[in-house]
Chain A
Amino acid sequence: MTPNEIAGLMLGIFAVLIVVRVPVAFALGVACVPVFFLDDRLSPVLLITEMHKSYNSFVLLAVPFFILAANLMNSSGITQRLVELSRAMVGHFRGGLGHVGVVVSMIFAGISGSSTAEAAGIGSLLIPAMKKQGYDSSFTVALIACSSVIGVIIPPSILMVVWGGIMSVSIGALFLAGFLPGIMIGLSLMTCVYVYARRRGYPVYTRASIMEFLRALGRASFALLAPAIVVGGVIFGVATPTEASVLAVLYTLVVGVLVYRSIGLRALPGVFYETARLASISLFCIGTASAFGWLLAFYRIPTAIMKALAPYATSVTAVGMIVAGVFLVVGCFIDAIPAMIIFGNLMLPLAERVHMHPVHFAIIGVVSLAFGLVTPPYGLCLLISCTIGQIKVVDCIRDVGILLIAMLLMLAFVIFFPNAILFVPRLIMPKFV
């Protein structure tokens, strides 16, 4: 069989299995199996060895730790304190609670690297509150889902850690480059909230006094120190990303158990179990995705794709649009990490061909894959928000679409202005960029 036929076979099997609702992780693995038998040079044991090899990456250890830190923040009431602080900051804008949702997502993003934990934590606090104040359910759910996307764009970020690990890019540089797009997406969402609030007459809070603001700031102060430790640790080379993720866990544990005393020792095993359960589902999928990606690389499919797309890959902008387009489409159907393992490597030759900066390539990839968290049918953050808001995905699809347009404009900015994205990393980490 020619490499093209092999690729067609694998993607065909994968697509069929996905349609009949086989879990993505298993569909990726099953798609590899016939190829292992067809080629005399290969054996199914490669599925196991490639999976095991992918789990041997020390960087991946950061995935469960970042999810654990976020879950600890949620169960220790740190998230609640951040909500109160955000309310004191932006509650008096028109559409107050909507702005609070976006701002608290941005602050939460600075501590946690997981968008799904963010959607669950912030959603369970704000979605009921917003509905009570008369916000439409569909807008509420769409807004919380879209805001939680910022979780993996503002550092720390699980997606950036994994991307840096598999593509050998400085994770510190990626973290620094994530600030600007993350803040821009936050501001674009706040603009949308303002327009919605004007047209639909959403309520406002009275402006918090300076004293109230300071009190809220004081109550959240321990939580606000965390980003400095975690992000600062990685950027200044004090800790590896994995170590930084453990520091985040230890810090939230100490704050939750000893300082705030808001989380009992009895509740801890439950939090740990939930984290392990969720993390291992994503991690298992990383294994089969790695085997799938390895097989595609074995048949030199990335080179074939590069040759096929070469005529369109005329400039950094053109390649940026291709990369974003592929990830946006793929992100509708599979999780961000397997998507990046399989398709990131497929598109790397294209990016190198036009001398796209590796950090720029990574940020385009991470931002477009992050949008996949709210695009159906497979948008985890949207699914989580819908569950909390007790509405169906189809019922909020229109509002998600509207918010997504604003976010896509920010993605276009990322594609068109690499120098703006690279400005902060160049300023602080010139050696690595």
Chain B
Amino acid sequence: MRRLIEAYVRLLRVLLTVLICLLVIPVTLQIVARYTELIPRYIWTEEAARFLFIWIIMIGATIAVRERTHFDVDVLPRPSTPRAKAVSQLIVDAAILVIAAVFVVYGWGYAAFGYAQTSELTGINMLAMHVAFFLAGVTWVIFIAERSLSALAVIIGGGDDAE
């Protein structure tokens, strides 16, 4: 299971790199089209940029949950024992899980709402963008479920077998 999740995270990292490289293209085309006659003024560039953008944000935010790199604030001192650390992580993950739940439950309907629409500019189905929230929610649930189990093991096991 752990291996499968690791492979999934690697896939997300590769996707993120590819998407940000691609993001440079539509905006560049826009500038080139405006100031030269080399290429026509494509109508899809802005929509392509929006599409890439939403996926970059959602994939990036997903990886950041996995790596715990979302910004937090040091008001309290950092927990020092493995058990305190595990409890603190469970609390944080519970809050993330609230957003994940909203994304899963209501993101499904939002994706369906997108499926019913087609972009007037490019003809792509809006599901392609709307589904990003749902998938981010599902991924967070998987990540959090996995590490909550190990956190619980630490709390119950008395903190000796910390990672």
Question: Measured between alpha carbons, how far is A44 from B94 in the docked complex, in Å?
Answer: 17
Is A273 within 8 A of B16, CB to CB?
A: yes
Count of residues in B whose CB is under 8 Å from the partner chain: 50
Is B17 within 8 A of A273, CB to CB?
A: yes
Question: Measured between alpha carbons, how far is A214 from B46 in the docked complex, in Å?
Answer: 43
Question: Measured between alpha carbons, how far is A27 from B75 in the docked complex, in Å?
Answer: 14
Question: Measured between alpha carbons, how far is A285 from B59 in the docked complex, in Å?
Answer: 14
Least Cβ–Cβ distance between A179 and chain B, in angstroms: 25
B49 on the A face (CB < 8 A): yes
Contacting B73 at CB < 8 Å: which of A33, A68, A377? A377
Is A276 within 8 A of B71, CB to CB?
A: no
Is B23 within 8 A of A281, CB to CB?
A: no
Is A20 within 8 A of B88, CB to CB?
A: yes
Question: Measured between alpha carbons, how far is A284 from B23 in the docked complex, in Å?
Answer: 17
Q: What are the residues of chain A within 8 A of B11 when measuring CB–CB?
A: none
Which of B1-9, B27-35, B116-124, B147-155 makes up part of the contact surface? B27-35
A167 on the B face (CB < 8 A): no
Q: What are the residues of chain A within 8 A of B75 when measuring CB–CB?
A: 18-19, 21, 377
Least Cβ–Cβ distance between B69 and chain A, in angstroms: 6
Which of A246-254, A300-308, A398-406, A417-425 makes up part of the contact surface? A246-254
Is A25 within 8 A of B70, CB to CB?
A: yes
Q: Which of A22, A47, A247 has the most CB atoms of chain B within a 10 A radius of its CB?
A: A22
A316 on the B face (CB < 8 A): no
A333 on the B face (CB < 8 A): yes
Given contact pairs A18-B73, A21-B76, A61-B23, A43 touches B49 in the complex (Cβ within 8 A) = no
Is B76 within 8 A of A247, CB to CB?
A: no
A123 on the B face (CB < 8 A): no
Given contact pairs A21-B92, A247-B31, A281 touches B69 in the complex (Cβ within 8 A) = yes
Least Cβ–Cβ distance between A147 and chain B, in angstroms: 22
Q: What are the residues of chain A within 8 A of B70 when measuring CB–CB?
A: 23-26, 281, 284-285
A272 on the B face (CB < 8 A): yes
B115 on the A face (CB < 8 A): no
Question: Measured between alpha carbons, how far is A55 from B132 in the docked complex, in Å?
Answer: 12
A residues 291-339 touching B (CB-CB < 8 Å): 333-335
Least Cβ–Cβ distance between B82 and chain A, in angstroms: 16
A365 on the B face (CB < 8 A): no
Count of residues in A whose CB is under 8 Å from the partner chain: 58
Is B109 within 8 A of A281, CB to CB?
A: no
Q: What are the residues of chain B within 8 A of A45 when measuring CB–CB?
A: 106, 109-110
Least Cβ–Cβ distance between A234 and chain B, in angstroms: 13
Contacting A17 at CB < 8 Å: which of B64, B88, B95? B95
Is B19 within 8 A of A276, CB to CB?
A: yes
B38 on the A face (CB < 8 A): no
Contacting A280 at CB < 8 Å: which of B59, B96, B109? B59
Question: Measured between alpha carbons, how far is A23 from B66 in the docked complex, in Å?
Answer: 13
Least Cβ–Cβ distance between B88 and chain A, in angstroms: 6
Q: What are the residues of chain A within 8 A of B76 when measuring CB–CB?
A: 19-21
Q: Which of B88, B96, B129 has the most CB atoms of chain A within a 10 A radius of its CB?
A: B96
A287 on the B face (CB < 8 A): yes
Q: What are the residues of chain B within 8 A of A29 when measuring CB–CB?
A: 98-99, 102
Q: Which 5 residue pairs across A and B have the least CB separation, nearest first? A: A280-B60, A23-B70, A284-B61, A276-B20, A45-B106
A-B contact pairs, 13 of them (CB 8 A): A26-B70, A27-B95, A33-B102, A61-B23, A61-B49, A64-B56, A246-B28, A276-B16, A279-B60, A280-B16, A281-B64, A288-B99, A334-B73
Contact residues of A with B, CB < 8 Å?
A: 17-27, 29-30, 33, 43-45, 47-49, 51-52, 55-56, 58, 60-61, 64-65, 68, 239, 242-243, 246-247, 249-250, 269, 272-273, 275-277, 279-281, 283-285, 287-288, 333-335, 376-378, 380
15 more CB-based (< 8 A) A-B contacts, given A18-B75, A284-B58: A30-B95, A30-B98, A33-B102, A45-B106, A52-B54, A246-B24, A273-B16, A280-B16, A280-B56, A283-B56, A284-B57, A284-B60, A284-B70, A285-B70, A377-B75
Contact residues of B with A, CB < 8 Å?
A: 13, 16-17, 19-21, 23-24, 27-28, 30-31, 46, 49-50, 53-54, 56-61, 63-64, 69-76, 88, 91-92, 95-96, 98-99, 102-103, 105-107, 109-110, 129-130, 133
